[in-house]
Amino acid sequence: MMQSKKRDHGGGLDAAISKYGGTRADWLDLSTGINPVPYPTPTLPADAWTALPDSAAFARLTGYARSFWNVPEGAAILPAAGASAIIAALPRLIEAGKVAIPGPTYNEHGAAFRAAGWALDDDGMDAIVAVHPNNPDGILWREDDLSAPLTVIDESFCDVMPEASLIRLANRKGTVVLKSFGKFWGLAGARLGFAIGDPEIIGQLAELLGPWNVSGPAIAIGSEALADPQWADETRARLTADAAKLDTLMGTQGAPLVGGTTLFRLYEVADAKAAQDHLAQQHIWSRTFPYADKWLRLGLPAPERWDQLEAAF
């Protein structure tokens, strides 16, 4: 099934506030898959704000990224201003053809390929996009299914399960693995992402995005976070426990788990729009999908906000 052409997303809290009232502080936004306990941002050196990032800063960031993700030798790494910037640019690097984007899945991939003149085709063999694990159902891909001349593996949510990563394929010709910093580290506002893969494609992408495409503060924060595996391990353990707690809560409401990751959970409900409306009246924002009227997706609340969610039922 190809993804919906409608570019729906999580977030949109301003619209929810306009409809249901309250202030942003009142609302518990569970419509995204962003870690609610972000990496503690370090004190930044003054030149992170005042100077253009130099080559040493970029090299330090990519070095930490190579180590953290166990990037294979021969694969190139390019930091960018968010994974979305990479998603928008990649289809413009290759002559347009037919691309398979099995879904339903994150819809910006389809929008970017269509904008670059590609035809979305379930049987497209010129390119394939694999969101791994998939958003919203958490399905994982197998290496054997990824053999198109251009293979894009979006691992924006894979840092919760590093053992499932397909980063080992990043040194394969025509392959690009995407990593998102904002989700697992909970710092979406930093706008930092990485393209890792075929040096020829990564080089073309670097030319298209231009110099200094990542801010100095994002480089400094990203470098420190990627050099802190202990925080990552502790965070994975907390997310696993909280996801299980959310599953138990929703199970008592007769909402079985469909899938997801430990950053977001997908449940089956009788009427997703009605469930969203009920939660919104308690100032809790959730995610529904235009292609599945029984799917409700919830992110995890911060530790101090569980009471608000539990009281909503």
Q: What is the C-alpha to C-alpha distance for residues 157 and 178, in angstroms, rounded to an integer?
A: 10
Asked if residue 62 belongs to a domain, the reply is yes
pLDDT tens by residue, 60-119: 999 999 999 999 999 999 999 999 999 999 999 999 999 999 999 999 999 999 999 999
Per-residue CA distances from 14 to 145, 189, 312 (Å): 40, 17, 20
* Same domain, residue pair 219 and 248: no
At 34, which CATH number?
3.90.1150.10
Query: 66: Cβ–Cβ under 8 A, 6 or more apart, which residues?
Result: 77
Query: Is the confidence at residue 2, as pLDDT, over 80?
Result: no
* Same domain, residue pair 248 and 105: no
* Same domain, residue pair 72 and 164: yes
* Same domain, residue pair 117 and 234: no
| pLDDT for the residue numbered 5 | 45
| pLDDT for the residue numbered 10 | 61
* Same domain, residue pair 128 and 21: no
The 8-class DSSP code of residue 208 comes to H
Query: Is the confidence at residue 231, as pLDDT, over 70?
Result: yes
283 Rama class: left (phi>0) / alpha (psi -120 to 50) / beta: left
The 8-class DSSP code of residue 46 comes to T
Asked if residue 283 belongs to a domain, the reply is yes
* Same domain, residue pair 167 and 240: no
Q: What is the C-alpha to C-alpha distance for residues 262 and 260, in angstroms, rounded to an integer?
A: 7
Q: What is the C-alpha to C-alpha distance for residues 239 and 261, in angstroms, rounded to an integer?
A: 9
Contact 162, 71 (CB under 8 A): no
| pLDDT for the residue numbered 7 | 55
| pLDDT for the residue numbered 3 | 43
- Domain residues for 292? 13-38+230-310
Query: 12: Cβ–Cβ under 8 A, 6 or more apart, which residues?
Result: 31, 285
Instruction: Give the domain-ending residue among 190, 208, 227.
Output: 227
Instruction: Give the domain-ending residue among 227, 249, 270.
Output: 227
* Same domain, residue pair 86 and 187: yes
Asked if residue 7 belongs to a domain, the reply is no
Per DSSP bridges, beta strands 264-268 and 257-260 are antiparallel
pLDDT tens by residue, 190-229: 999 999 999 999 999 999 999 999 999 999 999 999 999 9
Instruction: Give the domain-ending residue among 227, 245, 264.
Output: 227
Q: What is the C-alpha to C-alpha distance for residues 254 and 261, in angstroms, rounded to an integer?
A: 20
Q: What values do phi and psi take at 197, rounded to 5?
A: 165, -145
**Residue among 174, 171, 190, 173 at smallest CA distance from 182:** 190
Asked if residue 129 belongs to a domain, the reply is yes
What one-letter code names the amino acid at 89? Answer: A
* Same domain, residue pair 218 and 104: yes
Asked if residue 69 belongs to a domain, the reply is yes
* Same domain, residue pair 52 and 32: no
* Same domain, residue pair 204 and 255: no
pLDDT band, very low/low/confident/very high, at 9 (cuts 50, 70, 90): low
At 211, which CATH number?
3.40.640.10
Asked if residue 2 belongs to a domain, the reply is no
The 8-class DSSP code of residue 26 comes to G
Asked if residue 112 belongs to a domain, the reply is yes
**What is the tally of structural domains in the chain?**
2
* Same domain, residue pair 91 and 34: no
Mean pLDDT of 280-306: 97
Asked if residue 8 belongs to a domain, the reply is no
Query: Is the confidence at residue 8, as pLDDT, over 70?
Result: no
* Same domain, residue pair 141 and 29: no
Per-residue CA distances from 138 to 107, 141, 244 (Å): 15, 10, 15
| pLDDT for the residue numbered 239 | 98
Residues of the chain with pLDDT > 90, as a percent, come to: 94
| pLDDT for the residue numbered 11 | 64
Per-residue CA distances from 228 to 43, 202, 310 (Å): 15, 26, 33
